[in-house]
Structure 1
Amino acid sequence: MTNITPQRRDAYDTETSHEHVNDIDVIRDPTLVAEAKQATNTEQQMTLLKAVNLYPKAIFWSLLLSSTLIMEGYDLALLSSLYASPVFNKKFGTYNAASGKWAVSAAWQSGLSNGARAGEILGLIFAGWLSDRYGYKMTTIGSLILIMSFVFVLFFAPNVQVLVVGEVLCGIPWGAFQSVTPAYASEVAPVVLRPYLTTSINMCWVIGQFFAAAVNKASVGRPDEWAYRIPFGVQWVWPIPILAALVFAPESPWWHVRHGNREAARASLLRLTSQNDSTFNVDETIAMIEHTNQLEKRMKASFTYRDCFKGVDLRRTEIVVGIWLVQTLGGQNLMGYFAYFLTQAGMDASNSFSLSMGQYALGMVGTAGSWILMSHVGRRTIHFSGLCCQFIILIIVGSLSFSNENGSVWAIGAMLIAFTFVYDFTIGPVTYSLISELSSTRLKAKTIVLARAGYNASNIFVNVMTNYQLSSTAWNWGARTAYFWAGTCFLSLIWVFFRLPEPKGRTYAELDLLFENHVPARSFAKTRIDPFSQRIGGDVQRILVEEKSERRHE
């Protein structure tokens, strides 16, 4: 097998750096094209069992990095659940003479929730730059060290003001985890494994939320400060074993190729794959990565944050940001406030935490079920159908608020559990697959940073609204809050129908060309395309004309 030497790659870069993809040949090196095409064909024909046998190490390292999000899922669910804890409210809240109870005011609830979101935005911005410069591995290691330090602030917080500072500080490494994990998961495995590894991130979130409910359930009955200190202290459990193992993790081969280090990429790929498979050709796979990287370099001169808003990448950024905004506007925030939501509707704290555990356990079942679903159904179909179901459930929950029956609060709880299952079966996990696939590889980290920053910024609005909607010291809407989020869910449905494309089964090079040629979102699944054509512009245009002609005759 002929290797591509650095000199040949440099010559190629010099020769093509000022030319456009539609005007010249995609790749002038026929050996690179042939190897890349062979690797692409092999990858697209690879079965799930074959991929698992070939990439067991990639699966392990991806799941290890994804497990960092257990911490974020834990804390964010923990914080909203602690609002139902009498001891926590007495320590950090004020006495409400009207209700005769201690409660953290809606303003401070918003400050606590949004403090974490603000810190995450900072962490995302820093992580986007750090991961491009130093790699996903080193960025995650640094973030783990930070989170171990910042948990001290939460654990020893003497008042609500210091607690807000602790949430802001902890949000910084959480933001880094949000950026790094989907990018790494999407780059270390072939097409057939990509949806499973990216959606496992959602499983980590749900696991964290389940532990938060379980720890709260165990400690809510305590009459002392350990009712909330134990839940905060549990956050020291995760970082140490993850950090100890992560030291030995390989970097993404895509990251090495983007930095011009082919040998390091090759060594990394060998560490991610099984040495027992004699059919695997590491050089062909590296050629495919190089081919995609060169293709994207043709489409953009650099890869800065500004490039995310230029040309065809503006559409990709809009879609990825929109997908994550749908997560906040589809009513999912009610899941995080589940225990608090039910206590405000009239249920006691212990029962609300018990139902929370059932809710998150069913969420884990839903996420596992989504892996089977995605092997048969397209991402766009799953996402759109999930939103439709969520809209219906929210309407039902809002309607139940008008019932005076004693069992209505249990019915509301049952519907919210069903909502969690639908979310974790469809929108929750498939979002991570979509954002990883629809952003370009060279701008992946920065696109994810912008999208997740938009998600966190929208969560500031969502948290403020939800706290005021549910708080007995503010609007006190109770279950009628679901009507408001049903409206935003319906708007999200409209956007998804017209703007979300289908990436199922596509390589990154194919997706690059579909975006480059402005293929409509609803035509992605039907459009045939060849990323190895010697003249991409003409071939793609011919293919698109054929597709349009076929649709007119249907």
Structure 2
Amino acid sequence: MSSGIGDDKHDSTHVDRIDPELHEKSPEILLNKDLMNDAFEAENREHEMGVWEAVKDHPMACFWACLFCFTIVMESFDMFLNGNFVALTAFKRRYGVYVEGAGWTIPTKWQSALFQSGQCGAFIGVFLAGPITNRLGYRWTTILALVLMNATIFISFFADSLSVLVIGQAFEGVPWGLFIANSPAYASEVVPLALRGVCTATLQMAWSIGGIIVAGATYGYNKRSDEWAWRGPLALQWIFPTPLMVLIFFAPESPWWLIRRGRKEQALRSIKRLGRRSGNQASAEATLAMMERTVEIEVHMGGEPTLLDLLKGTDLRRTIITCLMYASQNFAGNLIANQATFFFEQAGMSTDFSFKLNLINSCLQFVANGLSWPLSAYFGRRTIYLYGTAFNMCMLFLLGVCASIPQNQSTNYAQACLGIIISFVFAGTLGPISYSVISETSSVRLRALSTGVGRAAYYVAEIPMIYLASQMLNPTGWDLAGKCGYVWGGTALVCLISAYFGLPELKDRSYRELDILFGRKIPARKFKTTIIDVKDNE
């Protein structure tokens, strides 16, 4: 029985039984022997399938999952761009104030507004995502968001004041919310069980790609002294939406969504498109039967999904886990990564060298994202999250100590290095594994709504934390520099304790098994050791 961090052993003696009376309440589809046998076969095949075998059997599923995840690069681009604006020399001279001893700087209130406005727009977007996706599907909702993204970039690009730029960022945030709510859900639904962790982890890689592009662009444009120092990077946003629109137009819809809408023939076609071209009809029909079985169980439990369903019965627990996992991304070093250039400046680095360090930091995050793939394939979600949080917590406290002792060039470099290490660990563990947990925790029936509400919790936590982060780093605020490590180390400790007692192990569990585990109210630390029979339909 799992009782501690990283315990991966199974207790094969722990077998749960179901009430025989439940079978009497089963809908007709669950009494269809042929369909159930196909469902058993498909689920057992997914459990037996290794990562590399799954990649070879479902290459197109991997491609489409990664493509949808790549839409996150647009939110990442803007988030990192705002973090770099406040460090751009020309931008600071145009919109900043002069502070004795610190030079030109953007006032704290405008820093916070630039960071928060997009998140406020995204907060609206994630609540729109669930109802729109339930009606239109993942594909058309994403295309709609891309059209909206193309249009809203104009506001930011032509902005001639900080207030208009803030408004432009708020409008851009709405499609961000649609992207971030739909991408992990779609990715988790189109790939086999063995690939769910790997493919949803590409969300963090898309985030890093956005950071690399921004770091490279702002490093080059920082040498300009005119308005194109910031208008140039803003214009680069237009390179993403149109090509993505064209590709996603040809993407298959999630078969899970199609089955929930009663469109079985289209779902079967999607399953065939997501597998190998040489895949046989029987295999596709077995996969369809497995999906029908799970969807029918959930429909029997709840009917048409609504936001209120997220707060009822066992779904309340699943919603809390999703919300806490999303919110916790703000509390273990992520905000240092988002404001890396400004953090390096406050740690004592020159402006030019800070931009160089930020580019290095972004590239290292990309490497960490790549390393997260084998990690998520072979280690449990709970294990990765707990170890990653514990390590970053220690590094954050060490950062605070480095900033508290008498300062010299060595302590400045130490703080910068610790900031890079914290960002690297986050990008390889906490960041990508959070998306895996989020996409797997919710029931299939409520997934579009759950991922949207979970991301809303992220913004509810992030918006005040952005203000706090800006206040801690800014010379016109508290000017704590690396001492902010004490604050983020404390919040990381809270995340660690909460996850130890509340985060279940979801790896290698089908959606049906997760429904049953949550339905039986199994404690989080016993999820891994509880055995679920393939014939259980509760």
Partner residue of 1:254?
Answer: 256
Q: CA deviation at 1:193?
A: 1.2
Alignment of 1:462-481 (within 5 A): 462-481=465-484
Cα distance in 1, alignment partners of residues 280 and 65 from structure 2: 23
Partner residue of 1:319?
Answer: 321
Cα RMSD for the two superposed structures? 1.6
Cα distance in 1, alignment partners of residues 123 and 320 from structure 2: 18
Does the alignment pair 1:456 with 2:480?
no
Q: Which amino acid aligns with 1:178?
A: I
Cα distance in 2, alignment partners of residues 498 and 152 from structure 1: 46
SS at match of 1:426: helix
Partner residue of 1:387?
Answer: 389
Partner residue of 1:10?
Answer: none
Gap regions ≥5 residues in structure 1: 1-19, 537-554
Partner residue of 2:380?
Answer: 378
Match of 2:158 among 156, 162, 180: 156
CA contact (8 A) 1:33 1:291 kept: yes
SS at match of 1:329: coil
Q: Deviations over 1:305-358 (max 9, x none)?
A: 100000000000000111111111223101111110111222111111111111
- TM-score under structure 2 normalisation? 0.93
Alignment of 1:465-544 (within 5 A): 465-533=468-536, 536=538
Q: Which amino acid aligns with 1:385?
A: Y
Partner residue of 1:328?
Answer: 330
Alignment of 1:138-177 (within 5 A): 138-177=140-179
Cα distance in 1, alignment partners of residues 461 and 248 from structure 2: 32
Partner residue of 1:266?
Answer: 268
Does the alignment pair 1:24 with 2:29?
no
Q: Deviations over 1:421-454 (max 9, x none)?
A: 2111211111111111111111011011111001
Q: Which amino acid aligns with 2:224?
A: R
Does the alignment pair 1:60 with 2:63?
yes
CA contact (8 A) 1:120 1:171 kept: yes
Match of 2:201 among 199, 219, 233: 199
CA contact (8 A) 2:314 2:519 kept: yes
Q: CA deviation at 1:30?
A: 1.7
Partner residue of 1:541?
Answer: none
Deviates more, 1:398-407 or 1:203-212: 398-407
Cα distance in 2, alignment partners of residues 21 and 465 from structure 1: 51
CA contact (8 A) 2:129 2:178 kept: yes
Partner residue of 2:7?
Answer: none
Q: CA deviation at 1:163?
A: 0.5
CA contact (8 A) 1:132 1:445 kept: yes
Q: Which amino acid aligns with 2:492?
A: C
Give aligned pairs, total: 516
Is the alpha carbon distance of 1:360 and 1:57 closer, same or farther for their aligned partners in structure 2, counting shifts above 3 Å? same
CA contact (8 A) 2:102 2:475 kept: no
Does the alignment pair 1:74 with 2:83?
no
Partner residue of 2:127?
Answer: 125
Q: CA deviation at 1:113?
A: 1.0
Cα distance in 2, alignment partners of residues 245 and 298 from structure 1: 36
Partner residue of 2:227?
Answer: 225
Is the alpha carbon distance of 1:100 and 1:485 closer, same or farther for their aligned partners in structure 2, counting shifts above 3 Å? closer
Q: Deviations over 1:140-192 (max 9, x none)?
A: 10111111111111111110000010010000001100011001100001101
Is the alpha carbon distance of 1:262 and 1:312 closer, same or farther for their aligned partners in structure 2, counting shifts above 3 Å? same
Is the alpha carbon distance of 1:397 and 1:21 closer, same or farther for their aligned partners in structure 2, counting shifts above 3 Å? farther
Cα distance in 1, alignment partners of residues 209 and 99 from structure 2: 38
Q: CA deviation at 1:243?
A: 1.1
CA contact (8 A) 1:324 1:451 kept: yes
Match of 1:398 among 383, 396, 400: 400
CA contact (8 A) 2:333 2:422 kept: no
Q: Deviations over 1:201-241 (max 9, x none)?
A: 11000111111111111110111111111111110111121
Match of 1:308 among 298, 302, 310: 310
Identity of aligned residues (%): 35
Partner residue of 1:432?
Answer: 435
Q: CA deviation at 1:58?
A: 1.2
Q: CA deviation at 1:22?
A: 7.6
Q: Which amino acid aligns with 2:412?
A: V
Match of 2:355 among 333, 349, 353: 353
Cα distance in 1, alignment partners of residues 188 and 102 from structure 2: 52
Q: Deviations over 1:122-147 (max 9, x none)?
A: 11111111111000010110111111
Q: Deviations over 1:48-79 (max 9, x none)?
A: 23211221111111111111111111110111
Gap regions ≥5 residues in structure 2: 1-20
Q: CA deviation at 1:23?
A: 6.3
Q: Deviations over 1:63-117 (max 9, x none)?
A: 1111111111111011111111111112222x23534633221111111111111
Q: Deviations over 1:474-511 (max 9, x none)?
A: 11111111111111111111100000000110000000
Is the alpha carbon distance of 1:314 and 1:270 closer, same or farther for their aligned partners in structure 2, counting shifts above 3 Å? same
SS at match of 1:375: helix
SS at match of 1:193: helix
SS at match of 2:104: strand
Deviates more, 1:279-288 or 1:479-488: 279-288
CA contact (8 A) 2:125 2:174 kept: yes
Q: CA deviation at 1:533?
A: 3.0
SS at match of 1:528: coil
Partner residue of 1:115?
Answer: 117
Cα distance in 2, alignment partners of residues 239 and 394 from structure 1: 37
